[in-house]
Structure 1
């Protein structure tokens, strides 16, 4: 009898031989069936990667993507039957791929695709009422700590990844060379990437780390647009709780 390890060894690598002694239910040689199954598995996983990384398909083209995906499949086969999680390490794979070194932003753009899926499948939560912050006096607000929706994901990059992602998938203005931090938010069902203004990511990281609103704002300059950041968070139901009591570090 063929072990599962032997059976799976050559599934994602056509250079591997068909396992010896493989037979069908009537004890007939099943090498050809294995070849067909191997091809179907590879094609299915490549399709799953293409569906999960539409921005990368758009940036390097479908043919190039299939070559890259095939190499990734051999190095990182699925470890879970839940295909919605497959490809989490694909951005790191792209970053290390010498053939794509001339596209240094590619890995961070791929991280937006990963974050979009993670946000979509994150646990549901309920945002606070937009008026909740308006009703607080300044001292109470500044001493408050925020809890955020599990679907909120921040991606920092030295490249204009938000503009690249949007231009690739939705058109519009061509990206500039300015670094961009991207915040994935899910107001209801579908997540959406938002490019943050200057210092916005620093404030969010501090708040996620359990710092008070005052502490998070202290390092910011006079040009920091607080109202835009709060409006973005509130309109997308990203703030789920406001408290004056210490909260656990959300990054642990």
Structure 2
């Protein structure tokens, strides 16, 4: 007798591959064949997953049209069934799939647009966190500013692209009539964040992505600045720090003693 794991594996394989026969031990009414019953079930599963992807990737859908998207999504579903029962987590690697999907080869920007939409999805469903009070940061002594270590929004994501994906996303999200986008304009780094109820997207200045990633990894403000200025000689610390505060990205902070003597203070939103 096959184990439960073997039965489940055969069931999943038959769901994924329409060319495989249904599991042998399916029971049902005598007037319907197992092939027909399982075929209906398989089709319902595939349709629901395609529709879930359409809900997660509305800009990709608008860019390629419903027929193309459904066809592409059906191929994707055949290779990637959900790993969890929560469908908001389904489709995390669709962008990678698009990059290798031959019919989308001429739409070189499409995969990065999908990455931006997935970042939006993650930000929307991320844990809530209250941005820090700017006045609390203002109370930090100037000679200790470089020792600041920040806690950043759980929703914060950065998507980098050589294409103008934010402009593509914006016109396909907010404009009734899609405006032309100059693909030769180049790309950059897009900050995706949800400081309160709405997800916000904005272009980061040069060096901003390096700066934020360093802060997210626990670097002190001074160390993050050094990494950012090495990446972009025109990096503006004051402007980038103000941008983080204004976007609600900072939800907590502490003063880290570079000599390893402990923290000199702390603050948080709330």
Q: Establish whether residue 81 from structure 1 lines up as the match of residue 85 from structure 2.
A: yes
The count of corresponding residues between Structure 1 and Structure 2 is 247
The more displaced of 198-207 and 58-67 is: 198-207
**TM-score when normalising by structure 2:** 0.81
Paired with 1:173 and 1:230, the residues of 2 have a C-alpha distance of 32
Describe the SS at the equivalent of 2:188. Answer: coil
Stretches of structure 1 lacking an aligned partner (at least 5 in a row): 248-252
**Number of the residue aligned with 2:254:** 243
Q: Contact 1:144/1:243 (CA < 8 Å) preserved in 2?
A: yes
**What's the counterpart of residue 216 of structure 1?**
224
Residue 148 (str. 1) matches residue 148 (str. 2): no
Alignment match of 1:186 (pick from 182, 189, 194): 194
Greater displacement, 155-164 / 206-215: 206-215
Q: Are residues 6 and 214 of structure 1, via their aligned partners in 2, closer, same or farther at CA, if it must alter by over 3 Å?
A: closer
Structure 2 distance, partners of 1:197, 1:136, is: 25
Evaluate the alpha carbon distance shift between residue 8 and residue 143 of structure 1 in structure 2; reply closer, same or farther with a 3 A threshold: closer
**TM alignment of 1:11-90, pairs within 5 A:** 11-20=15-24, 22-24=26-28, 29-90=33-94
> In structure 2, the residue corresponding to 1:197 is in which secondary structure?
coil
TM norm structure 1: 0.87
The Cα RMSD (Å) is: 2.6
1:119 counterpart = 2:130: no
What residue in structure 1 maps to residue 264 of structure 2?
A: none
Deviates more, 1:69-78 or 1:31-40: 31-40
In structure 2, stretches of 5+ residues that fail to align are 261-270
In proportion to residue count, which structure has more strand? 2
Mapped to 2, the partners of 1:173 and 1:62 lie a distance apart of 20
